[in-house]
Amino acid sequence: MALQSSKLLKIASRFGTFNPFALAEYLDFDIEYTNDLPEDYEGLAVSELKVLFLSEKFRNTRFCYFLCAHELVHGTRHNGIQAYYNLNRKTKKDLENEADVGAIALLCNFYLELFPDAEKITVESVANYFDIDDSLYDLIENELRKIINHRFGLSM
């Protein structure tokens, strides 16, 4: 996943924003809000059609940024929606983790874009801003460490 996440981050950097909605538009993905997602789904990427389906119930929420980023990673990384349904549980979990890692990378950078002068950036401030569940705190912490190390030339 690091390679794909890095690729999306490079595109975002060149494009001038880490906003997942702007990136989706730049990469020619349409965003459709719907109430007709499969059970227990909050979003769905159909890369063949270049469409990101997001749950209508999250429209106009900050959590929708996470959903968009998560589905954008799927849309740019994982081809073949039918193949996804045929995967075993472990492989699906791995793909979901990849999408979470990529989404968190985009959102941590987007948060810093929105608040460049923030005196103190914490895992909680990023999670609270985007209404991200505490189960992803470790991913946010890892990404913030990478960003800080990169910005200040520190080795990990």
pLDDT of residue 88: 66
Average confidence (pLDDT) over 23-49: 94
* CA 42/CA 71 separation, integer angstroms: 10
Residue 80 pLDDT > 90, yes or no? no
Query: Higher-confidence residue: 36 or 148?
Result: 36
Residue 82 pLDDT > 60, yes or no? no
pLDDT of residue 27: 95
pLDDT class of 85 with cuts at 50, 70, 90: low
pLDDT of residue 91: 75
State pLDDT tens for residues 106-128.
999 999 999 988 778 899 999 99
pLDDT class of 90 with cuts at 50, 70, 90: low
* CA 1/CA 41 separation, integer angstroms: 22
pLDDT of residue 8: 87
Closest CA to 133 of 62, 81, 30: 62
Closest CA to 41 of 2, 1, 99, 90: 99
CB-based contacts of 12, cutoff 8 Å, min separation 6? 18, 23, 106, 109
pLDDT of residue 118: 77
Q: Return the ∠ at Cα 79 (arms to 32 and 36), rounded to 5°.
A: 30
CB neighbourhood size of 84 (10 A): 15
pLDDT class of 3 with cuts at 50, 70, 90: very low
